[in-house]
Amino acid sequence: MREDSLAAMSSALPPPLRPPYLAQPIGGDDCFVEPQEMLDEIAGLVSVSLDVEPEWAVAGWRVSVAAMNRETGGAPFPIRFSAIKDCIRHDVVLDMSVHPSGWIEARVTVGDHAAYSFFIERIYEEFEIWPAGSPCEATDSGRMGKRCTWVQLEAAHWPDLAFLAEGSFITASPLSGAGAA
């Protein structure tokens, strides 16, 4: 990971500028749920995805699960990873929780650098991912599959992470390539 970009990351930034949509698609209809329930949903899906595929790729980095908290009930959901590329290793922590605004906040910390915040909502089946302070007007700033088996961010909306882009997108997917849904 590039040190200058990581140093600019900060979780002190505000959530997106509008309230989140937290829809649970049920039989073709949407049912809106409380943020803690959505956090539990995401935590469960991410847990299953990482149990099946514990090694992922992000721009040539091999990212492996080191430890995962499996508590539910709206509790924060931390996951520890090890990221390795060209014999360089970083400890990475992904910590998901309910932000006071009602958004699901995912904070990624690499080594001892400041955390970088992503904000997650579910409008329908897939999850939408927005940068801090976003007006949520982009067509596709970021998405995560409905089973949490892949993540894709449009690099133009994530300038601090653009160094991880392959083409126009920053993609995190299982090394096996099985993250299709």
pLDDT tens string, the chain, 181 residues long: the values are: 443 433 333 346 799 999 999 988 775 556 788 999 999 999 999 999 999 999 999 999 999 999 987 666 767 888 999 999 999 999 999 999 999 999 999 999 988 888 889 999 998 889 999 999 999 987 779 999 999 999 999 998 888 888 889 999 999 999 986 555 5
Answer whether 0.75 is exceeded by the pTM: yes
CA dihedral 72, 18, 31, 28 (to 10 degrees): -120
Q: Please report which helix (H) or strand (E) contains residue 50, including its range.
A: helix 35-52
